[in-house]
Amino acid sequence: MIPVYGYEGQNVAVLGLGRSGMATAKALVAGGAEPILWDDSVEARAAAESEGYTLRDLSKHEAFDDIAALIVSPGIPHLYPEPNKIIQAAWTAGVPVDNDIGLFFRSFGQGDWMDHDTPPRVITVTGSNGKSTTSALIHHILTETGTPSQLAGNIGRGVLDIDPPQDGEVVVLELSSYQTELARALTPDIAVFTNLSPDHLDRHAGIGGYFAAKRRLFAEGGPDRAIIGVDEVEGQYMANQLVEGFADDRLIRISSGQKLKGAGWNIYAQKGFLSEWRKGRQAGSIDLREIAGLPGAHNHQNACAAYAACRAIGTAPKLIGAALNSFAGLPHRSQVVGEKDGVRFVNDSKATNVDAAAKALQAFKSIRWIAGGMGKEGGIADLSDHLGAVAKAYLIGFSAKDFALQLGQTPYELCETMAVAVAKAAAEAEAGDTVLLAPAAASFDQYPNFERRGDDFIAEVEAYLA
């Protein structure tokens, strides 16, 4: 646990009692504060009360009279699509609003920090797609090369729930826009921006607000080194803003698909090969084509980002290359479930938006595509240029009929359920095909989350393979 400092003897309100909220309450107690908890859920409140915590309805008049700060769980919208009433009451009362990420950076460098010969460091990863794989890949490389590391944030453990860092340890945090938009302290040593595509637009009042939430990690945090994906204009803009020129090696530019030029520090992947260039000279190269855990150009971008982060802390290219080859991938992200009669089954349930689905569709040559769920604004219209490898689409969920209208000449079948879709795709697939779950939609019409959707796909595939 990372104790929260700065509120000793004071009341601190915590709104939202999920994983991060309860970890925050424990960390506040460890730092000498008195947490005051609230959640709309009766069950969550009862669970907190059973652990001895004090509850207070924060929607009541004068609820913030003796409160030093309000800590909000990331899943609670605070400003858009409309202000949260409790958070607005805190604003009116002049009570600072923060989240667990802000508390982490406020407290991480305290406690036993001065006892370390080599101070621990923090690497953060944000972006629309690939941040989970990139974070896990950085953690994997560090572990494989002998650097103590913990993985937390939007993946793994809550940030305040990690163990006190060892000497020389590197903490890797995956941060979503929900986490970066509200944190009052953002001070990573190294910050990674993978890419940007439309997502969570209601929460951020459009693409500009979404980008602004991501950009806070770099503009307000001021990391010692920034690693920026420059395959979209937002990344190009941010890279330009952060340094005096590309020769300034506080910036590492990364790309998948284009050769990066200039005197600065550039890492890119082309035709399956990763190349590192620094000060106009090649410093490293890795063949990514046969790494089973990193299929497709989108995963090659993830490899570039992870490689850059590890190079930024001094890891040798050869050691990074060896670690990349042992990476097995993450569940629900281009996860190979099995193969039968030359047909491969791949679970990419995490492809919940069009951009992620497009990257998955570009990773394989002949695809039986399972898609659908709770479609997002615009549906799959923007996938029209990425359907060339799709032999047939098998559509499930709430938006199946809407998706069908946007497929053009691509053959499709309305399957409604995962069981029907897998059975149909498996029966019609031929040797060399890939049955790919890449929904391009949220899961909430049929499943509580994308993990459960992926688990259902895996169960149906394993039943077929048995």
The answer to whether 264 is annotated as binding is: no
The overall longest dimension of the chain from CA atoms, in Å, is 68
324 exposure class (CB count in 10 Å sphere: 0-12, 13-18, 19+): buried
Name the nearest CA neighbour of 320 among 173, 146, 124. 146
The answer to whether 214 is annotated as binding is: no
Tokens representing 231 are 């395959």
DSSP string, 12-81: EEEE--SHHHHHHHHHHHHTT-EEEEE-S-HHHHHHHHHTT-EE--TTSTTTTTTEEEEEE-TTS-SSSS
Coil, strand or helix at 205: coil
∠ Cα 352 355 361 (to 5°) = 90
Given CA atoms 86, 88, 94, 97 in this order, what sign does their dihedral have? positive
Nearest-angstrom CA–CA distance, 226 and 327: 24
Name the nearest CA neighbour of 150 among 170, 132, 167. 170
Angle of the 317-325 helix axis to the 296-312 helix axis, nearest 10: 140
∠ Cα 460 465 466 (to 5°) = 100
Tokens representing 71 are 């800590």
Tokens representing 322 are 């060896």
Close Cβ partners of 88 (under 8 Å, ≥ 6 residues apart): none
The answer to whether 359 is annotated as binding is: no
Residue found by looking up tokens 């190009």 in the block: 236
The answer to whether 133 is annotated as binding is: yes
The answer to whether 158 is annotated as binding is: no
**Rg of the chain (C-alpha set):** 23
Close Cβ partners of 216 (under 8 Å, ≥ 6 residues apart): 180, 181, 183, 186
The answer to whether 318 is annotated as binding is: no
The answer to whether 424 is annotated as binding is: no
- Count of CB atoms within 10 A of residue 273's CB? 13
Annotated binding-site residues read 127-133
List the binding residues for ATP. Answer: 127-133
